[in-house]
Amino acid sequence: MKTVVMRRLLCVVVLATACEPGNIALVEPGSSEGGVKRSVFTVRATVALEDSALADSLGWQEGVPGAEVHLLLKGTGEWITAETDAAGTVEIKGLLPGIYRVYAGRTLATDEAARVGGVTRAFGDGQTLELKGSTELALALLADRPGSLEISEFGFGAPPAWETNGSYLAGMYLEVSNNADSVIYLDGKVFGTNPAIYAYSPSQPCDMTEPARLDSTGVYVKWALAFPGTGSDYPLAPGEFALVAVLAIDHTPIHPMLLDLSDADFEIGGQDVADNPDVPNMIDVGLADFKPQQLFPTRSVFFLSEPVDPKNLTGIFRDIGGKPHALVPAQYLLDVVATMHIWPLRDAERQWCSPMIHERFDRYEGGLFEIGFEVDPALEATRSLERHFLRLEGGRPILMNTNTSAVDFFLGTRTPGRLPQ
């Protein structure tokens, strides 16, 4: 028997203990609460068309069996988790109307991997939609792709401001990993982000930013950092990673929940405090000065790319204030990660710009902040966003990359200097 789990803030609550996959009843269908009629939501998970040969090898022509489907009603902190049946379908009955985040993921078991060359594969897809009545949603799960240079972790936590006499952001960090099978030289590679065009505001509604958000030819950037080096100074072997700290120093004297990042490989610097002269600094190449808060995954799209100079890129989008954002063409992009900070006690009034980015680059953003600052700032400060481990190849870790951030990343405990296995 399978269970249906609703993940509440800081706890896990089992709602049902006798539910077969494919048929989940939270309350009696058709009933109402406060005069609001409950609905039936049917999710069908298939394999993306480009992976149809893989689906045939697995016998998944009808759909993806045993896929975990996750739902979150906007304005709440409760995730509902269900599982698809043998035909790749699940019905969730008794849902209230509203806007839902929905995503599905599946990782092959050992016996299934044996049918596809002994390689563990993963699949993912997701969507945001409004549930008004009984609704059907088709998700096309994309298989993981061979990686390159990838973002493997965001260490974004900061102590409560009242304990450090201000918002101390210098202890944040970024980790990048070589998920390929050959050496990658970091020299000149670019890390960029642009939360400005992915978040809704009354002065900049979603339909205004849609041409930039859904551009299939590339990703727009405002803040960007380039790795130093002249071409072959900073090699990264397969399975290795590089740690980029805001400041590569020991932060524990500032607050005990902070980390000693003095062994970082690179630092951003520029915080008007101690700098580590033994650690090379990243180079600010963006259209606006990079601030450490740009590492915080609120409503943002982050990317890694081949060397580019945003100031020389020709594709430009201007926001409501006329500030430019440069288009990094798709052929330069190595990794794209979309994230959204869910504030359960505030999101009821907020609008989401969805989708955040064209599915060519990320099929669904990771809404990974079930524990908000309103609940426990100290606990939030010790968290990080980490990419899931998928498999070992030749003794080196391969991290998950289904082009679906909601599936590929999880909210966990900080692990700078170590890849998950």
Q: How far apart are CA 275 and CA 270, in angstroms?
A: 8
Mean pLDDT of 117-144: 95
CB-based contacts of 97, cutoff 8 Å, min separation 6: 36, 37, 39, 130, 131, 132, 133
CATH superfamily of 2-143: Immunoglobulins (2.60.40.10)
CA distance linking residue 76 with residue 90, whole number of Å: 22
pLDDT in tens, 70-103: 998 887 777 899 999 999 999 999 999 988 999 9
Least confident range from 181-185, 186-190, 292-296, 330-334: namely 292-296
3-state secondary structure of 1: coil
Residues 6+ apart with CB under 8 A from 56: none
C-alpha 44/C-alpha 36 separation (Å) is 25
pLDDT grade, residue 6 (50/70/90)?
Answer: very low
Every domain of the chain and the residues it spans: 2-143, 149-413
Tell me how far apart the alpha carbons of residues 20 and 111 are, in angstroms, rounded to a whole number. Answer: 22
Per-residue confidence band for 418, with pLDDT thresholds at 50, 70 and 90: confident
| Cβ–Cβ under 8 Å, residues 143 and 123 | yes
Residue 189 near residue 311, CB atoms below 8 Å: no
Q: How far apart are CA 67 and CA 386, in angstroms?
A: 21
Mean pLDDT (the chain, rounded): 85
- Tell me the two tokens of residue 365: 């953003």
9-60 per-position pLDDT tens digit:
322 222 332 346 766 655 454 455 555 678 899 999 999 999 999 999 999 9
Residue 141: which of 100, 91, 84 has the closest Cα? 84
Looking at the DSSP bridge assignments, the partners of residue 320 are none
